[in-house]
Amino acid sequence: MRSLDERYRNENADIQRRIDQESVRNAELTRLIQDNDAKIRVREDQIMQLRKELESARYNNSSLLDQNANLQAEIDALNNHIRVLQLQNEDLTKELDQFVEANEAIRQRLDRKNRVQEIRQKNEQ
C-alpha cells in the first residue's frame, strides 16, 4: 500500500508539474494572443484610416478631373474666340490698309505743291 501510495503521489506530483508547466505555457500563449489581438486592432485602425484617405483621394481626383474637363472646355471656347478675333483683326487690318492707300491717293491728288511748282515752271518758261 505504501509503495502504491508513493507511486500515486509521484504520479500526482508529475501530473501537477505538467499541469503547472501547461499553465505557464497557457499564460504565455494567452499573452501572445492578447499581443496579437492588440496588433490586429492597430492594423485594422490603420486600414480604416488608409481607406478613408483613399476615399478622400478618389473624391478629390474625381473633382479635379471634373474641373480639368471644365477648364479644357473653357480653353477650347477661348481658342475659338481667339480665332474669331484673329479673323476680325485680319479683316480690320485689310480695311485699314485700304484706307491708308485711299488716303495716300487723296493726299497725292490734293498735294498742290508739286502742281503749283509745275505751273510756275511753265509760266517761267
What's residue 113's pLDDT?
A: 78
What's residue 83's pLDDT?
A: 98
Query: How large is the average pLDDT for residues 9-37?
Result: 97
What's residue 32's pLDDT?
A: 98
Q: What is the mean pLDDT of the chain?
A: 95
Summarize pLDDT for 30-70 with one digit per residue, the tens.
999 999 999 999 999 999 999 999 999 999 999 999 999 99
26: containing domain: 2-124
Q: How many domains does the chain have?
A: 1
Q: What is the DSSP string of the chain?
A: -HHHHHHHHHHHHHHHHHHHHHHHHHHHHHHHHHHHHHHHHHHHHHHHHHHHHHHHHHHHHHHHHHHHHHHHHHHHHHHHHHHHHHHHHHHHHHHHHHHHHHHHHHHHHH-HHHHHHHHHHHHH-
